[in-house]
Structure 1
Amino acid sequence: MLPNWDERSNTIAHLLNPAFCGEVIRRCMFAYQKEQKTAMPFQLAFLILPIVLHKENRERLPKTSGKNFISWIEENQIIKKDLPNIIKNINSFTKESIMFLMMYKIIIINESGNFEAIAKGKILSYENEVVECYKKAELLGKLLAKAGNSQFIFVNLGIKP
């Protein structure tokens, strides 16, 4: 579990706050469901922050959604090496952000047990890196939607869901 807000460093509190991380997750889920015409499987939500917020992973993402996610992973083997630890380290922040989104009814868990993004937001005038995170989250959602089922994605990442 995460420490109370007054026990968190200012850097962690600012960079990994549930509103920002939640918006990254929501944008990815919304792009996924728009592309796939179905809600995002629960376990895929735990890939979003480790790929989008980790600067090296984010910068390695392709420029467009025309790239196949699995071939992108094969071309970027270093991601497979580091991703399990990044997921483990950021897992609590993912859970906190999902709870935040659910509390405000921005996402729901549908009858199939998948995440469904309810609200669609606009990019306001933010710093370049924030906008980049939002855009890369949307790109990741499209890539994951085209990649196949979640088990196939995790197998290709070398991770047991």
Structure 2
Amino acid sequence: MLPNWEERPVAVAHLLNPAFCGEVIKRCITEFQKIDKIGLSFQLSFLILPIILNKDIRESLPKTSGKNFITWIEENQILKQELPILITNVVPYTKEALMFLLMYKIVKINDKGYFESITKNKPLTEENEVVECYKKAELLGKLFAKAGASQLIFISLGIKP
């Protein structure tokens, strides 16, 4: 359970607020759906924030979706050490962001149990770290969709979903 807003450190409250985290997740889901219409799996949603919010991992992502996600994992073996800890630390914020998205009807859970974005991504015009996070989240959605089954992604990362 997350602490009340008044008890959260200011930096944590700003960086990990559900609106920002939700937008990162929603952008990933939206781009995923452009390639794989079924929607993003519940399990994969827990990889988005740890990959995008960690600057070193985010910057190591490929420049385009042309690169295979599994190959990227193999080239960045440090992920297998760092990512499980990051995922564990960010799980409550991912859950909070997903509840925010569902509550405000920004995403929905479809008949097959996958996340679907209801709203479209607005074009990004500025250049700053927030926009970089949004762009990389969109790229990550494409990479996830092209990687195949979520189980394959987790196996490649050495993580049990």
Structures share fold, TM-score greater than 0.5:
yes
- Residue 60 of structure 1 is matched in structure 2 by 60
- Residue 80 of structure 1 is matched in structure 2 by 80
- What is the root-mean-square deviation in Å for CA atoms of aligned residues? 1.1
CA contact (8 A) 1:108 1:116 kept: yes
How far residue 125 of structure 1 moved from its aligned partner, in angstroms, is 5.8
Structure 1 segments unaligned to the other structure (5+ residues): none
- Residue 157 of structure 1 is matched in structure 2 by 157
TM-score norm. by structure 1 comes to 0.97
How far residue 37 of structure 1 moved from its aligned partner, in angstroms, is 2.2
Task: Give 1:156's aligned amino acid.
Answer: S
- Residue 136 of structure 1 is matched in structure 2 by 136
Structure 2 segments unaligned to the other structure (5+ residues): none
Secondary structure of the 1:108 match is strand
Percentage of matched positions with identical amino acids: 68
Going from structure 1 to structure 2, the CA distance change for 1:11 and 1:156 (only over 3 Å counts) comes to same
CA offsets 1:121-153 (integer angstroms, 9 cap, x no match): 314665610010000000000000000101111
CA offsets 1:65-118 (integer angstroms, 9 cap, x no match): 000000000000001110000000000000000000000000111111111111
Moved runs in structure 1, 4+ residues, more than 6 A? none
CA contact (8 A) 1:123 1:131 kept: no
CA offsets 1:8-52 (integer angstroms, 9 cap, x no match): 011011111000000000000000011112211111000000000
Residue correspondences, number = 161
- Residue 120 of structure 1 is matched in structure 2 by 120
- Residue 25 of structure 1 is matched in structure 2 by 25
- Residue 71 of structure 1 is matched in structure 2 by 71
How far residue 60 of structure 1 moved from its aligned partner, in angstroms, is 0.4
Going from structure 1 to structure 2, the CA distance change for 1:105 and 1:151 (only over 3 Å counts) comes to same
Secondary structure of the 1:77 match is coil
CA contact (8 A) 2:30 2:121 kept: no
